[in-house]
Each structure stands twice: as C-alpha cells, then as structure tokens.
Chain A
C-alpha cells in the first residue's frame, strides 16, 4: 500500500495521496476481518487445547479428522446435497427465466412475488419448512404420513431412514430429509438464479433467435443450440456461486434437520459447527475449516478465470 502511486500527472500532494486515503480504511477492515483470521485458522489447525494452553501437534488434527467415521459420511452428504441442489436450482431457474423472458404485462409482479423467498433468512426458511413436516402435527405430514397415499407406512420426512446405499458407503439414494433439505434450499436460491439467468438471456439478441427460427429450429433446438451455448459462462458462474453457497450454508441444516435423522443430513459445514462449538474441538474444527476454505478458493479462482475470459471475449 505504501507504494501506491498515481500514473496521472500529479497536481498536488493531497491529490496524489487521495486514492490511498480513500482505500486505506477498506483495506484495514478486510485485513483484520478476512485475512488475519485465515492465517489464524492455519495456526489453530496445528494446535490443540490443553488445560494450560495450546500445544503444537503438527498434522494430528487432520489425521484425527480423517479418522472420524462421520467425516467421510459428511463428504458424501455434501456431494449429494450439492449435486441435487445445483441441478434442481439451475434447471428450474432456467425454465422460469425462459418464461419470464417473454414480454408480459405482469412480469414485474411475477418477479416481485418470486423474489420473496430470497429475502427471507435461511434460518427462517429452515423453520418454515420444518413446521410443514413436524411429525404428526405438520400440515404436510398429514398427507405424507398417510399410508393410503404413501404405502406402506407413509413418509415422516424428519425421521425416515436412509434407504440402503447403492454404491457401498456412498449415501445415495438420499434420505427423505436430505431431499427435503435440497428442496428447501433450492426454494430460497431460485429467485437469485432466475434473475441472473434472465439477465443473461436478455443479452442474447432476438435477431439470432428469430433467424434460427426462420431456419426452422423449434423451441428446444433454439434453447439447446443457441441459448445454452451463449449463456454458458453465466451458467457456470451460477453453478459455482450455488456450490459455494451450498457448501458453506449452515443455517438451513441447523434449523431444518439439525443434521438428522441420525447423520443423514450432516454436511461438512454442519460438522464444522458441531466440532467447533458443541464439542469445543477447536483444532480439529480449524482443520476442517481449512479444507472447506481450500475448496472455496478453488471455486472462486475458477469463477474469476471464467468471468475474465468472458470479459475478454466481449
């Protein structure tokens, strides 16, 4: 920062340093709240708490983390969750964006209504969806738990067990609670993705679409061969931002399922919460936080690369 210079011809010293002073507070805040904790997490992951203080333990925290039976399971749950969540949100978001892309009198109203879920806090969304399926008393439970509709015993979303796995230990097919968690998460993320895709869709010029229609392409072919390729960068950005959000969100799991039933919705972010704040295993939690952070960084860098490619191509 000290070497900040201005390429333009300097008029006076204050002008010279103005951008420096303007940026300095932001940089200080970001260093304190975002950068320093990252280094602290690295330090924490190499230490363990003893009654007298912190002991350096090397990579022991990581080894203990990997030995935990629930760790491997959580990786599986996270993968299942992310695949379900991103696919569902992107497909639905794309369809709704396609519908909204027509010029309709009421589209302003539709967008406003559709956007309400996005404005509601994740923890509230979790509770709202939980209220619907509380065993015996939830409004949806009345339907789902009815054996006449869902034989043989009805489905109690919050207590039904995982079906037997198809691939060894990998948690697929998921428990009803996981499917429900995916639906609730998608419900909340849909507005944002819809709007993002809609904006990208509107930049695709109508002429291209019209001319391909003249050439006899049907609706699906236009989507498949024109819209999707042209919107690919946005789709990938949307995918990454969903993955990032889904990977790190803990509020929904917290209030909707609490990781249950059993461990069937225990994703990595929830495990991090449990290790850090329920079991006070700060070292092991920091090790897990680092692993999650590495995945985050990979996603962020990939997004940056794609958006830059996009900028260059324009």
Chain B
C-alpha cells in the first residue's frame, strides 16, 4: 500500500518537473510571440513591461491591453488590390524570400532523397569491394561542416559565374551545395532503412521475373517510403534553417532565401523589436507546423542518423 502511493507520488513529482522543464523550453518562444504583438510605444518603454496591459491607474487591466499587429503589418506590407484577395502582401519576405526558401528546400530534399535512396539501396543490398571503405569515408565526410568548405565553395561559385555557362544561375549552385552537404548523412539513414526491409521480398520478385531494377522500384522503394519521407523532411528543415551559405553564395537579392530576409530586417530595424519578432515567427512557423504534424517521422530519421554520427 505504502509503496504504491509512493510510486504515484514519484510519478507526480516527475510530471511536475517535466512540466516546468517544458515551460522553460517554451519561454523564449512565448516571449517572442508576445513581443511580436506589441505596438511601438510599448516596445520602447523603459523599463520594459511584460504585458502591454497597464494603465496609469492599475498595473494590469485586461480591458486596456494594447495588442497590435503592427509588426506583422510591416513585415507583410499588405496593400489593397483588386485581385482575388482584397489585398496583396508586398513585403520582401513573403514575396521573395520565403518562396525562394521553399524552392531551395524542396528541390534539395527531392534530390537528396533520390540520390540517397539509390546509393543507400546499393550499400544495403550489394557486397562489393571498397563498400566498407566508402561507407566509412562517407560517414567521415558527414562531420565536415559547411563553414570550413564555404570559402572554397564561394570561390567555386565565382569561377562558375565567370565561365558564363548557359542556363546557369546561383540557384542551381546553391541547391548543389546543399545537396552535397546533406547527402552523406542521408545515405547512411537510407541504408539503415533498407537494411530493415527483408531481402526475401525482392528475391521473390526477381524469381517471379522482375529485373532487379524494377524490384527496387516496385518492392523496396514503396516499403522504404516512410524512411525516404523522413530523409525528405530532415533535409527540408535543414535547408530551410541554413543561413550562412545562402547569405554568402547567392549574389542576387531576388534569389536569396528566407534566413537572409530575416538578416535584412535585422539590419533595418535596430530598435523595432516587434518587427524582428514578427519576421522570426513568420519564418519559423511553417517549419514548426511541419514538425508538429510529422514528429514521428522526424524522430525516426534523427535516431537513425544520430547513432551513426
């Protein structure tokens, strides 16, 4: 009897501790949301107040709250129009940078899924000379961070631009860089997912008259789809969140990604914290929503990747 209640007490304590930890994890996010809904006159107060709800008479009066969407208005810059919607959003972030990021992230993720799916399959199913060595060197490359290679990639980009290739633009180069950067880890993750699919299925298909390639397409790929989806999502988020390469490797402003747009806002709004906060939230929101809906897939990819390196 005593031990049961004690165990229950323990569970309560642990739950309380975890709730407190979760609150701490969310404080910075919550304050940013809070700041983004303040108006300028509440932002530039000294000393700052947490909620914009005070009046000369009382410290907190819910009916006097001065919530404002000024920050969002300035990021989105809505202007009346006679199109489908009564207004269009003219802010650079929504007009240029977020679509760009979407394009970079999606195309990189598709490429990475495609390439890592093929090579992951080969590493999982075939035993050839140099396999182990290649696997290990791919893993070793995983760890080399973008930053140290960036200098060379920057010069590479400059030289390619000088060659004036037809059809070339910075977008292709950036997607190639992201692909090369996020591919190695994905190869390992893909190999792990293929390893988990029983080989017997394919062999049965081959015996039934499939070529190995169509066995790959018809049997293994569909079974590996959740795994490939995980790689897709992981790469998508990584590209979306990447700042320094997009900032340095792309010359034209119209081609720069969302994180650069954020940096631009930072440079132009020194003390307008509500604008910066609104921009942060608009850029992070798609990713957070994606994560909440697909968290299991994320965890699967992460664990597969984390154990390897």
Interface residues of A (CB under 8 A from B): 3-8, 14-15, 18-19, 22-23, 25-27, 29-30, 32-38, 40-41, 44, 96, 99-100, 102, 104, 106, 110-117, 119-125, 127-129, 131-132, 134, 136-139, 141-142, 145-146, 187, 190-192, 195-196, 199, 237, 241, 244, 247-248, 250-251, 254-255, 269, 272-273, 276-277, 282, 285-286, 289-290, 292-293, 296-297, 299-301, 303-304, 307
Contact = CB atoms under 8 A, between A and B. Distances in A.
Given A15-B212, A132-B28, A32 B176 contact: yes
A209 to B, nearest CB: 15
A29 B151 contact: no
B48 A139 contact: yes
B184 A296 contact: no
Contacts of A286: 151-152
Nearest to B13: A99
B177 interface: yes
Interface stretch (B16-24, B74-82, B90-98): B16-24
Given A99-B17, A124-B280, A285 B143 contact: no
B50 A99 contact: no
A34 B141 contact: yes
A183 to B, nearest CB: 10
A27 B106 CA distance: 21
B45 interface: yes
A39 B144 CA distance: 13
Nearest to B136: A304
B284 A124 contact: yes
Given A41-B152, A136-B46, A137-B44, A3 B130 contact: yes
Nearest to A308: B136
A41 B148 contact: yes
B119 interface: yes
Contact of A116 (B144, B241, B276, B288): B288
A38 B156 CA distance: 12
Interface in B283-304: 283-284, 287-288, 291-292, 295, 298-299, 302-303
B110 interface: no
B231 interface: no
A34 B187 contact: no
Nearest to B206: A11
Given A23-B123, A112-B292, A142-B50, 16 more contacts: A6-B128, A26-B119, A29-B115, A44-B151, A106-B18, A128-B31, A131-B273, A134-B271, A137-B44, A250-B147, A273-B147, A282-B151, A289-B148, A296-B144, A297-B144, A304-B140
A29 B262 contact: no
Given A32-B180, A37-B156, A137-B271, A128 B115 contact: no
A131 B35 contact: yes
Nearest to A25: B115
Interface string B110-135: 00000110110111011111100010
Contacts of A300: 140, 142-144, 309
A142 B47 contact: yes
A297 to B, nearest CB: 8
A237 B143 CA distance: 12
Contact of B50 (A125, A139, A301): A139
27 contacts: A18-B213, A22-B121, A33-B176, A36-B156, A37-B152, A38-B144, A40-B152, A102-B10, A115-B291, A116-B288, A119-B237, A119-B287, A119-B298, A120-B241, A120-B284, A121-B241, A124-B259, A128-B29, A136-B46, A136-B47, A138-B273, A141-B48, A187-B25, A241-B309, A248-B145, A289-B148, A299-B143
B26 interface: yes
Given A19-B126, A23-B119, A100 B18 contact: yes
B240 interface: yes
Contacts of B156: 36-37, 40
A273 B148 CA distance: 10
A137 B262 contact: no
A5 B127 CA distance: 8
Contact of B140 (A25, A115, A301): A301
Given A37-B149, A44-B152, A121 B179 contact: no
Contact of A22 (B22, B48, B122): B122
Nearest to B306: A196
**Across chains A and B, which 8 residue pairs bring their CB atoms closest together, nearest first?**
A33-B180, A37-B152, A121-B241, A248-B145, A300-B143, A40-B152, A22-B122, A19-B122
B263 A123 contact: yes
A121 B48 contact: no
Nearest to B45: A137
